[in-house]
Chain A
Amino acid sequence: MTNSAKFKLERRLVLTIVLLPVAMVVIFVGDTVTDYAIAAAVFYTPVILVATRLLPAGTVVALAFACVALTLLSFALTHSGAYEVGIVNTGISIVAIGVTTYLSLKLVAAEAAAHESRERLLRMARITSLGELTASIAHEVNQPLAAIATSAGACRRWLAQEPPAIANAQRAADRIVEDANRASAVIARVRGLASGKAPHRERFDFNALVREVVALAGERGERSGITVRLSLQHDLPAILADRVQVGQVVGNLLLNAVEAIEAKTGGAKTLEIVSETEDRNRIRFSVIDSGVGFRQGELEHLFDAFWTTKKDGVGLGLTISRSIIEANGGRIWAETGRDGGAIARFSLPAGIGAIE
């Protein structure tokens, strides 16, 4: 909510809270000075109606009792007119106040229930994107499986040749091993995601990890003609965290950056990767890209689950990244860069001492 809207709402609330007692006093005075025949107390009902819109149920009930009390007090103070008419009118007023309070509170409750079910529907809609998530996992796993099956077929054919092409078969077998490892890494990642198990913390050289991930993601960046600049602080202290998980986050941030750069037409294509000490016992990692950057309002949703700007995205990458970094005692955030690109950063606690 913007500040001005908040201010307007507050002013309205204050105004009402002041106006309600004033109205009640006016009605009370009117009820008291007029004779029994005039049921001025019925006018308490609009006061109740306004109150239910703005005040919590308990306060509204208290207010209703106050109105009833005032009605009775008016009745006691008024002496003009027919007494019986007075009793009947007061009775009608009290019933009107009571019924109004009951009905309007029920209405508010019904509206709240409707709102909640709408929210639930929205959540359900999001959960259906879990179907998309599984499709995406299936794709990730099927890719190496397809490569394995195909390589195995090739391997068998190389061996069946006369004479057998041993070297070729060996290469095919090597590829099978590699792809099997890749498939199991995907499974491990999904399982880690689903079980939410505690990170396995160890001390490790963060820069080495970054270099590994950059090497893995390098092909994609190269293909897109991106200039990658690594500035890794050489005496960076070792960090204490789950190496595999942190590697996933680094990879995720790099991939996002590459995609953001690919999405932009024209201009420089640079990706800057920085590691540095934040203070004595924290390190900070930044990915600075020259990509499309953030549109207004995007920054605040960035880490929301199922929120994405990518056409085929599921909207979980940064959500998972955040939960990983936080589980490892760190913090992750994003900023807009000087040239309009995006900066993604996280900081993590250092294990003491640099790795030699």
Chain B
Amino acid sequence: MKPQPSTGKTADPTVYIIDDDRSVRAALEDLLASVSLRAKSFASVQDFLAFDLPGAPACLVLDVRMPGQSGMDFLEHMTEYGLYLPTVMITGHGDIAMGVKAMKDGAIEFLTKPFRDQDLLDAVHRGIEADRTRRLREAANADVARRWASLSSGEKDVARLVATGLLNKQIAADLGVSEITVKVRRGHLMRKMNTRTLADLIRLLDRIQPT
């Protein structure tokens, strides 16, 4: 199978920055620009939510303490907004408890200001990679699901039984059809699912867990 080219590789990755301090925003944008990363910054969570996110791989750099909704609070509720951005937390005064909470809530890194620029860039690169992988996987899963949906119900029956390791003869007996029919359906479904070997087929079916 091939990944959909539109979701990931070609679109430029973007780093989103949410920090209420103008200097920090400017410095971060410039640092990311110096390593040719596109950045877009926001002064508050509210501003960020008002922005329409494009479907490119991304990473979020989020300040903990801000007027309005705090970064900590936003991180905790991000999935409720349908956002799955890898997040690097930055804070002016962090403690261990805060760091633990951030990591539990899914942050990929927790940095205390002032942080080493390399640490931030490393974390951001990791975040973008993770997001790219997630997007590719999601796209691939969607592709498999689409192929699965294109099978006829007879082909789906055969596919499920093939995956359990039954022979054509046994499948024919199970479904009450001729062995020739099973062979024909099997050929169709392998072509439609774009797989050559039984092992590939099983792997694909695992991914979408057809019922």
Contacts and interface: CB of A to CB of B under 8 A. Distances in A.
B31 A151 contact: yes
Contacts of A179: 23, 27
A172 B26 CA distance: 9
Interface string B15-33: 0000001111011101101
A150 B124 CA distance: 14
A262 B118 CA distance: 37
Nearest to B119: A153
Interface stretch (B74-82, B109-117, B198-206): B109-117
Contacts of A143: 21, 23-24, 92, 113
A146 interface: yes
Contacts of B27: 146-148, 150-151, 154, 172, 175, 179
A150 B34 contact: no
A179 B22 CA distance: 10
B39 to A, nearest CB: 11
A223 interface: yes
B62 interface: no
B92 A138 contact: yes
B42 to A, nearest CB: 11
A182 interface: yes
Most buried by B among A143, A144, A165, A175: A143
A149 B92 CA distance: 13
A178 to B, nearest CB: 7
A149 B93 contact: no
B37 to A, nearest CB: 11
Contacts of B28: 150
A168 B34 contact: yes
A154 B23 contact: no
Contacts of B24: 143, 146-147, 150
B65 interface: yes
B35 interface: yes
Interface string A45-81: 0000000000000000000000000000000000000
A13 interface: no
Contacts of A165: 34
- Sort chain A's interface into a size bin: 20 to 34
Contacts of B30: 150-151, 154, 168, 171-172, 175
B21 A150 contact: no
Nearest to A140: B92
Contact of A157 (B26, B31, B43, B93): B31
A172 B30 CA distance: 8
Contacts of A142: 92-93, 112-114
A85 B43 CA distance: 92
B102 interface: no
B129 to A, nearest CB: 20
A265 to B, nearest CB: 13
A312 B68 CA distance: 11
B23 A182 contact: yes
Interface string A123-164: 000000000000100111011111111111110011001000
Interface in A241-283: 262
A219 interface: yes
B88 interface: no
Interface string B91-121: 0110000000000000000001111111010
B90 interface: yes
A176 to B, nearest CB: 9
B34 A154 contact: yes
Contacts of A223: 43-44
A191 to B, nearest CB: 19
Contact of B23 (A152, A158, A178): A178
A151 B67 CA distance: 24
A319 B28 CA distance: 35
A149 B22 contact: no
Contacts of A140: 92
13 contacts: A140-B92, A143-B92, A146-B27, A146-B90, A146-B113, A146-B115, A147-B24, A147-B27, A148-B27, A150-B28, A153-B31, A175-B26, A179-B27
What are the 6 A-B residue pairs with the smallest beta carbon separation, nearest first?
A: A153-B117, A146-B113, A147-B23, A157-B34, A150-B27, A139-B92
Given A151-B31, A154-B27, 11 more contacts: A138-B93, A140-B92, A153-B31, A154-B31, A161-B34, A168-B34, A171-B30, A172-B30, A175-B27, A178-B23, A223-B44
Interface of A: 135, 138-140, 142-154, 157-158, 161, 165, 168, 171-172, 175, 178-179, 182, 219, 223, 262, 312
